[in-house]
Amino acid sequence: MAPVIQECHRRPGVEPIVCFTGQHREMVAQVAAYFGIEPDLDLDLMVPNQTLGSLTSRCLDLLDQTVRKYSPDCIIAQGDTTTVMVASMAAFYHRVPFVHVEAGLRTGDLYSPWPEEFNRRVAGLVANLHCAPTNRAAENLLNEGVAAEQVYVTGNTVIDALLWTIDRERTSGEQWIEKYSTLTRPKMVLITGHRRENFGAGFSQICDAVGLLAKKFSETDFVYPVHLNPNVQEPVREALGDIENVHLVPPASYPEFVWLMDRAYLVLTDSGGVQEEAPSLRKPVLVMRDTTERPEAVDAGGVELVGASCVNIVRAASHLLQDPVEYSRRQIDSNPYGDGNSARRIMELVESRGWESQTSVRIAA
């Protein structure tokens, strides 16, 4: 959302109201500072060990109060989190137009990714403007019966943010060079893993795969920024903590992670956004999930689905680390998810809707 918020500030008569819910507070604070974003309010809704149900109900209550207080002309949210689903519900209850950025991604399986596939579908039910990142995402919406005049292909704003960040970090990344001075081997594999559906047996398989790869490719560094969730921390540190060329580091800030992607030879991930970002940097990606709502990069050859399977992860990673011809084939030159101008397109669409009821357009983001 950072590029959308920045685009709002560039447009006379547009007043963005930036709302943080309080999830991943440290990570969000770093990103906000990096992009120069000051939140107008922070709902501070997180409590220890809350369930998805309690998170949803608490978030809905607080966002309901927020919409009532600010009376925005529209609400914009991006992606597939519980916050996004609840924001769409709050907009619906108050009859405020809802703009869904990164709309139309689907796997067809409500339980994979879980609960994100469900969250996206709920948001899609009430959205007044669907900003789809790709033609396929737009087709998904049209096939579900969404009116064509509500669906536009804008690209994804995560690519806007990535391109802006990589230009900055390539010229001023000395702090990361110093921080990762221990990465002295010729190649580096970057790993992320945090999906709920992989908790338990899935993470055991992923950790086993990374351990085997690290021992097989001793001249390669394996960097794993480990998510703070205990369901991730405990199995990862137990399985990989004593392997010399595996570097378990705290969760990386956004610019730091972009720098690591740019430095990496290969990316192993179960994340959604990384599937879009890494191909922009011509980095092959192995997705440790059985399904993906982002099939475009798979079709282009830059991404391969390997599941949370030790055998599949080791096989596919070994192939790319050993075969330069196959590696080169996986480096795609054109990212299907955007060209860096998505936020401008989105705001042009928002302003063209004529939703404003005041002199300035108040947008809750």
Which residues does the annotation mark as catalytic?
Answer: 80, 102, 116, 194, 196, 227
Helix/strand/coil percentages in the chain, nearest 5: 50, 15, 35
CA dist., res. 97 & res. 37, Å (int) = 23
Give the Cα separation of 310 and 329 in Å (integer): 24
For every residue of 233-251, which 3-state class applies, written as one string?
A: HHHHHHHHCCCCCEEEECC
Please name which of 153, 286, 147, 159 lies closest in space to residue 213, comparing C-alpha atoms.
Answer: 286
Q: Where are the alpha helices (DSSP H) in the chain?
A: 2-9, 25-35, 52-70, 82-93, 116-126, 135-143, 157-172, 174-179, 201-216, 230-240, 254-263, 273-280, 296-300, 310-322, 324-329, 342-352
